[in-house]
Structure 1
Amino acid sequence: MKSSIFALVSGAFLLASGVSASDELLPLPEEVSAQSDALATASFLDWFTPWVKRTWQGSNYQCKCAPGDYCWPGEWKWQLLNLTVGGNLRVSIPPAASCYNTFQGPLGNLNTYDAAKCAEVTANFADEQYQINHPTAGLWTYFTNDTCRPTTNPSDSCTNGYYPVLYIQAKTIGHIQAGISFARDNNLRLIIRNTGHDFLGRSVGWGALVINTHSFQSISTSNKWNGPGGYSGSTITVGAGVRAKAALQHLHGLNPPKIMVTGECATVGVAGGLVQGGGHGPWTNREGFLADTALQFKVITADGWLRTANAAVNPDLFWALKGGGPASFGVIVEATYKTFTDLPSAAVSLDINTSHTSDINQIWEAIRIFHSYATHWVDNGLYVYYEIFGPMLHVQPFVGINKTQAELQTLIQPLFDDLNTLGVGFSTSNRTYSTFYDLYFDLFEIEAAGSSALTGGWSISKQDHAANATAIVDAFKTMTSSGAILVGHMWNAGGGLPQSQWSKSAVNPVFRNVVDKIISVVPIAGNAPLADKAEAQQRLTYVVDGALRAAAPRGAAYVNEADPFQPEWQTAFWGTNYPELLRLRRKWDPKGVFYAVSTPGTEAWTQIEEGTRLCKKI
C-alpha cells in the first residue's frame, strides 16, 4: 500500500455516532448507516473471505490478511472505515519512534525524530501509566520483538516489530462495532486493548488492527441492584477503559467508603481481560474472584451486535465472560460488579536477604519455613504477596482485612518464632489503616513497564501443600537457579465464597482449593536471537514451571499470568470447564474473529514465520 495511507488516517473526518448502551441488540448507529452500507458492499465484493495460504516448516496454513497480501483492504476501504469511526483510525507507531530519524513501518516510512518527545519517552518508558496512555503499546516489551526502544542514536533502525499496524481510538460503541465488522469481513487479525496490561502479548500482534477502548471511562454506583441473580446490594458500573485506581478512588469517596475486588496492581483495567481471566486480588479470600462479583456485562460479540449478558439474559455468554478467557467471547464495553463496605485493615512486611545472613542455605530454610504457613494464613483470611529471587525473600505485605494489628501479629508470630529459632535475621514492619483502600495505595509497590521477559506460573493446592511442602521449596530452588524470579500470591478463591456460588463463573474449579498462586518470570530480550528465545521458552516450560508442576500436580494455571505454551493448557487453565467453554466459543465466535493465545478454541491457531503471521493449520 502507498504511504498516502498516513495522510488518509491522520485526516479529521468528523462524524457523530451516538449509541444507547442499554439496547439489547444494537446494529451500527443510524448516523453511520450509509457508510456501513458501503462497507457491507465492500464485504460482499470479498464474499470469499480471503485467506493467505502459507507453508511453514513442512505444514500448510491459512492465515489472516496482512500488509502486502492481495487481500489486504484497499485504501478506499480504509477510508470508509475511517469515516465510519469518526476519523479515529490511526497508524500505529511504536512509543519510542520519536528517538529515531525514520520509522520503517509496514505501510511506508515516516520521519519521526523529535528530541523533546524522545526525552519524554526515555524518561517515562518504565512508567505504566505512560505506556497505558499510548494506544498500542505493550507494557512489557518481549512480545513486541523489543523493536524501537529508546535510543541516543537516531540513525538506529526503528521497525514495527510485532506492534500492530493500525488502530481505532474508539469513542463510541458504534466505533467498536465498525472495527469488529471490518476485521471480520476482511479477515484481519483483531486485537482489543484497554490498558495493555498483560504479560502474554495479547495487546500487540504483527499485522493487526487494534480497537483501543481506553476512552470508555464512565463510572457510576448504586446502593441497590435490581437486576437478576439474587443479589440486592450495592454496585459499581464501569466502562471498558476504567482502571482499578479510578474505580477504587470513586468508591472510596462514597459515604461509607466502598471497595471492590481488584487486582494487586492499580493500573489494571477492571472491565476487560482481568475479569475474563478471573481477576484475583487482596479481597479474593473474602469474596472470590472479580468474576464471582460480576452482575452484568454490555458486550459486543463477533457478529457486531451489542448484547446484555447477565444471569437472565444470555446466561451462557455471561458465564463464559466470567473467567472463560480474555478476548474470546466478545468485547466488554461496560461491566457491573458487587461492591462491599470497606474495612479497617492491618499489614506486616518482612525481608530476609544477604544483609541478614551470608548463609544461602539458611535463607532457603527460612523460605521453607515461611511457605509452610501458607494454608494457615489463607484459612485465617490473610492475603500474602511476596517475591523470591537471589535468593532473598521480600514480603510486602501480609494483609489482614478487618483485623487489628494485634490479631494479624498473632497469626504471623509463629513464623517469627521459627525464624528466631533458626537464628536467621530479618527485617519487619507493621501498620494499621482505617480502610483497605489506604493500605492498598500505601503498601502495594508500583510495577515498572518497559522490561522484557517470558512469564509462566502455577498454583499450589492445599493437598499438595500438605503433602509436598519440602518438594515445593526444592522446586523454588530449581526455578531460581534456572534464572527465574518468583512472585507469589497467597489466597484461596473458595474460602469466603459459598460453595453454591463456585460454579457460577467459568474459572478453573481447582482455584477454589488453592493456597498460593505463583508467577515465574524469566528475563530475556524480545530481540534476542531466535535460538536464545527458543531456549528460554523451553527452560520456562519444562524446567522452571516443570519443577513446580511436578511438586504440585493437583494445581492449576491462571490464564492471565502463566505460560501459554505449557502442555495441556486447556486443563491447566480451565479444568473440567473447558469442554463447555469450547462449545460456547464455537457458538459465539464461529469464525475466530477474536484471538488470544491459548484460549478456548484456539488449538489450531499459531503464529508462524518467526512469530508474525496468525494462521490455522490445514
Structure 2
Amino acid sequence: MNRRAFLKAIGMASLIPILPRRLWAAVTNFSRRRPSDAAWPSPAAWKQLNEAVGGNLIPVNFPLSASDPAAAAATLSSKDLKNPYYIGDQPGLTETLGWVDAWATKPSVYAVAARNAQDIAAAVNFARENNLRLAVKGGGHSYQGTSNAPDSLLIWTRHMHDIEMHTAFVPQGCEHTMQPQPAVTMGAGTIDIQAYEAVTTKGGRYVQGGGCLTVGLAGLVQGGGFGSLSKHYGSASGNLLEAEVVTADGQIRIANACTNSDLFWALKGGGGGSFGVVSKMTLRTHDLPEFFGSANFTVKAASDDDYRRLIREFVSFYKDHLFNDHWGEQIEFNPRNTLEIKMLSQGLSAEQPKQIFQPFLDWVARSPDAYSLEGRAPFASIPARHFWDPQWWKEHWPEAAFPRNGSILRALLDDVLVKVIPQPILDFDDRPGAGPNDAWWKGNMGEAGWFIWGYESLWIPASLLEKDAQQRLADALFASSRVSDVSLHLNKGLAGAPPDAIAGATDTAMNPAVLTAFALAIVADGQDHAYPGIPGHEPSVAEGRQAAKRIDQCVNQLRAVTGETGAYWAESNYFEKGFQQAYWGSNHPRLAEIKKKYDPDGLFFVHNGVGSEQWSPDGFTKL
C-alpha cells in the first residue's frame, strides 16, 4: 500500500477509540500481536497515531519483496544496493541484508518517521498499549539485525539529525558538581559524516564517532562505540555526557551522571534498543591535532617459515613502537602470507609516521628474497581538519596519491619501493538531491547489501605483548591465519590509552576486558547483494555454513592463548554462547536490574540484548 492509499483507508474508517492505558495495564499478555490477529489495531487507531505524530506514520515499503522477484532482483543488481545512503533512506532496509541460518531483513508494517522526542513517545505508548513488537532504527548498521523486525511498528529516527555545538556544556542537574566543557548535541538520526562535518570540518574539534561514515551515532554510543582513534580519545560511550531518552512508560527523560544516573550508565555500552529510545545525546569534544597520519602497505612473505618470522617481528615491533595512543586501526594476517598494515595516527608530525616505521622497513629490506613490499602512498599526513571533508579529498585527488613537494598532503615515499595505485578512496551518493558531502570510504563498500556467513570477535589482552608471551601470540596469529583472514583492530582495545580515556571507558557498561585488551580480533566472511527468495541472488547457504566453521576454527586458535575474554556487542557472533558474560562480563547483573526498573515488561527487545533471554528469538512470545 502506498502512502496516499494508506491515509485514505485510515481516514475513511469508522472511529474506534484506543483503549485507555489503565485497561491495558490490567491485562497479562504473553504474545505480541501480529497483523493477522483479531486484536491488531484498527485503522482508526492507526489514524489517531498518525495524527499524534503530525502525519509522520508511514507504511513501510520493501524493495526486496519476493512477491515481485524481477523487481527485487533488479534492485539487488542495481547500484542502489551498493549505496549506503539509498539503504539508509529506506525504512524497510538495513545496511546488512541478513545472516545465514540467523536472520534476513524484513520490513515493519508501519514506521513513525520521528522528528522529535514527542513523536517517539507517541509511538512507544501506542506499541505498549496495543502490545506490539517495536523496532528502532537510525543508521541501520546492526550486523545482528537488531534494527528491524517483521510485523512490527518501527521508530525511524533517520530525519533527527540536528546538531548544536557547545563551548561550555554542563549536564542538567550537574551545575554544582561538573565543570563546563566543550561538547556537541546531536539528534538520534545523526550519522558519522554529519557529526564530523559539523564538529571537525567546520568546528575544528574532534568528536568520537565511528570509522564508517554512515554509521548512526546513537547506536554506536549505546553499543560501546569505537572510531579509528579511540586508543587516544576513548570509546564513544565513555564520551557521552547526557542523553534524552524515551523509556517504556512513554516518559521523556534526561539521563546523565546526576539525573537518572543508572539509566545513563546502561546507555553507555549496554546495547542499543534495550533500555529506551534515545532521541538526542551530547558528547564531549576534544582539541584537534594538526595532522592525522596513515601507514598503508603490505608485506608479502615468500614461504610459511618466512611468514612466521614476519609475524613474530611485527608483534615485537608493535609492542616497542606502536603500542600507544598515537596509533589505531588495523593489521591483517591471512592464508596468502601477507601482513597488511592499515593504520591511522594522531598527534604526530608530518614526518613521524614513516620515521617510526623505518626500523621495521629496514628489517624487511634486509631479506629481499623472503619479503616484498607494496602499498599505496604508504605514509601520509593529512590535515586533521580535512580528514572527513569530502570536498577537500575531491580537490586533492590524485595529488593525495602522488603529492608534490610542498603539498599540504605529504606522502613520504623516499627510498621505499612500492606499487602506488592512484584510485579514489571515497565514493559519493550521486542520486538527485543528494548532499555534496554524502560520501563513504571505499573500504566500507562491502558492508552495503552484505549477507553475512559468519562473524566473530575476541578481545586480545595486552599481557600477550610481554616479551615472554610474544612468541605464543605470534604462533597463534600464524595458526589462525592458516584457516582464515584475521584482523586485529588496534583502536578497539584500550590498553595503551591515556588515563582519561581509560577512566571514561571504566564508567561504562562494556565488558571490562576492553580496558586491558590492546586489540579486538575480528574474523568474518559473507557475500554481497544476496537475499532469500530472489532467483539468481539466493544466499549461498552451504558455502556460508562452511565459512562459519572456518571462522570458528580460526578464532579458536586465538582463544587457545587468550582464554574466554569476551566479545564486542556490536561486532560479534549472532550465535554467541553466553552472550551476557561475553558482552558485559561483571557488568551484566547491574544491567539486568536497570532493565527491570525501566522496562519491566520487556517492551524493548533486541537479539542478544539485556533481558532478551526471557523472550522467543523473534521477540514476540514471553517465555
TM range (shorter): 0.7 to 0.9
C-alpha root-mean-square deviation of aligned residues, in Å?
Answer: 3.4
Deviation readout 1:525-550 (Å, 9 max, x if unpaired): 6645877766665654x424333323
* Alpha-carbon separation, structure 1, partners of 2:472 and 2:76: 48
State the partner residue of 1:216. Answer: 160
Q: Does 1:347 align with 2:293?
A: yes
Q: Does structure 1 conserve the Cα–Cα contact (< 8 Å) formed by 2:493 and 2:520?
A: no
State the partner residue of 2:494. Answer: 493
* Alpha-carbon separation, structure 1, partners of 2:102 and 2:589: 36
- Counterpart amino acid of 2:364? L
Aligned length: 549
Q: Does 1:93 align with 2:61?
A: yes
Deviation readout 1:168-204 (Å, 9 max, x if unpaired): 2122322211211222222222111001012111122
Seen in structure 2, the aligned counterparts of structure 1 residues 216 and 490 have a Cα distance that, compared at 3 Å, is closer
* Alpha-carbon separation, structure 1, partners of 2:360 and 2:564: 26
Correspondences of 1:37-436 after superposition (within 5 Å): 38-41=17-20, 44=23, 47-52=26-31, 64-97=32-65, 102-103=67-68, 118=74, 122-143=78-99, 162-227=106-171, 228=174, 230-254=178-202, 257-270=204-217, 272-352=218-298, 356=300, 359=303, 361-363=305-307, 365-376=309-320, 377-379=322-324, 381-391=326-336, 393=338, 395=340, 397-422=342-367, 423-428=370-375, 429-435=378-384
Q: Does structure 2 conserve the Cα–Cα contact (< 8 Å) formed by 1:145 and 1:161?
A: no
Identity of aligned residues (%): 23
Q: Does structure 1 conserve the Cα–Cα contact (< 8 Å) formed by 2:232 and 2:325?
A: no
Q: Secondary structure at the match of 1:425?
A: strand
Q: Does 1:592 align with 2:598?
A: no
Q: Does 1:521 align with 2:469?
A: no
Q: Does structure 1 conserve the Cα–Cα contact (< 8 Å) formed by 2:95 and 2:140?
A: yes
Q: Does structure 2 conserve the Cα–Cα contact (< 8 Å) formed by 1:51 and 1:65?
A: no
How many Å apart are 1:368 and its aligned residue? 4.3
Q: Secondary structure at the match of 2:63?
A: coil
Q: Does structure 2 conserve the Cα–Cα contact (< 8 Å) formed by 1:136 and 1:212?
A: no
State the partner residue of 1:506. Answer: 509
* Alpha-carbon separation, structure 1, partners of 2:343 and 2:486: 20
Q: Does structure 2 conserve the Cα–Cα contact (< 8 Å) formed by 1:141 and 1:526?
A: yes
State the partner residue of 2:456. Answer: 456
* Alpha-carbon separation, structure 2, partners of 1:437 and 1:497: 28
How many Å apart are 1:485 and its aligned residue? 5.5
How many Å apart are 1:8 and its aligned residue? 2.7
Seen in structure 2, the aligned counterparts of structure 1 residues 593 and 365 have a Cα distance that, compared at 3 Å, is farther
Q: Does structure 2 conserve the Cα–Cα contact (< 8 Å) formed by 1:384 and 1:398?
A: yes
Seen in structure 2, the aligned counterparts of structure 1 residues 231 and 114 have a Cα distance that, compared at 3 Å, is same
Which stretch shows the higher mean deviation, 207-216 or 422-431?
A: 422-431
* Alpha-carbon separation, structure 2, partners of 1:363 and 1:317: 48
Q: Secondary structure at the match of 1:571?
A: helix
Q: Does structure 2 conserve the Cα–Cα contact (< 8 Å) formed by 1:320 and 1:506?
A: yes
Return 5+ residue gaps in structure 2 as ranges.
394-424, 426-440, 533-538
Return 5+ residue gaps in structure 1 as ranges.
14-34, 53-63, 105-111, 148-159
Q: Does structure 1 conserve the Cα–Cα contact (< 8 Å) formed by 2:2 and 2:59?
A: no
* Alpha-carbon separation, structure 1, partners of 2:462 and 2:581: 19
Seen in structure 2, the aligned counterparts of structure 1 residues 49 and 388 have a Cα distance that, compared at 3 Å, is farther
* Alpha-carbon separation, structure 2, partners of 1:295 and 1:210: 27
Seen in structure 2, the aligned counterparts of structure 1 residues 567 and 554 have a Cα distance that, compared at 3 Å, is closer
> Structure 2 length as normaliser, TM-score?
0.79
Q: Does structure 2 conserve the Cα–Cα contact (< 8 Å) formed by 1:345 and 1:399?
A: no
Deviation readout 1:77-118 (Å, 9 max, x if unpaired): 333323322332223222345xx7x459xxxxxxx9599xx5
How many Å apart are 1:40 and its aligned residue? 4.2
- Counterpart amino acid of 1:74? S
Q: Does structure 2 conserve the Cα–Cα contact (< 8 Å) formed by 1:348 and 1:396?
A: no
Q: Does structure 1 conserve the Cα–Cα contact (< 8 Å) formed by 2:201 and 2:385?
A: no
Seen in structure 2, the aligned counterparts of structure 1 residues 615 and 50 have a Cα distance that, compared at 3 Å, is closer
Seen in structure 2, the aligned counterparts of structure 1 residues 401 and 70 have a Cα distance that, compared at 3 Å, is same
Q: Secondary structure at the match of 2:612?
A: coil
Q: Does structure 1 conserve the Cα–Cα contact (< 8 Å) formed by 2:308 and 2:475?
A: no
Seen in structure 2, the aligned counterparts of structure 1 residues 465 and 390 have a Cα distance that, compared at 3 Å, is same
- Counterpart amino acid of 2:350? Q
* Alpha-carbon separation, structure 2, partners of 1:506 and 1:613: 23
Seen in structure 2, the aligned counterparts of structure 1 residues 373 and 199 have a Cα distance that, compared at 3 Å, is farther
Deviation readout 1:258-297 (Å, 9 max, x if unpaired): 1111111111111x21001111112312221111111111
- Counterpart amino acid of 2:521? I
Q: Does structure 2 conserve the Cα–Cα contact (< 8 Å) formed by 1:131 and 1:137?
A: yes
> Structure 1 length as normaliser, TM-score?
0.79
Deviation readout 1:565-617 (Å, 9 max, x if unpaired): 2222222211221111111111111111111222222223342xxxx564343
Q: Secondary structure at the match of 2:184?
A: strand
- Counterpart amino acid of 1:216? M
* Alpha-carbon separation, structure 1, partners of 2:100 and 2:244: 30
Which stretch shows the higher mean deviation, 571-580 or 40-49?
A: 40-49
Give the one of 568, 571, 581 matched to 1:561.
Answer: 571
* Alpha-carbon separation, structure 1, partners of 2:8 and 2:449: 27
* Alpha-carbon separation, structure 1, partners of 2:356 and 2:8: 59
Q: Does structure 2 conserve the Cα–Cα contact (< 8 Å) formed by 1:368 and 1:473?
A: yes
Deviation readout 1:381-435 (Å, 9 max, x if unpaired): 2113234445364746422211013332333223223323453111242112221
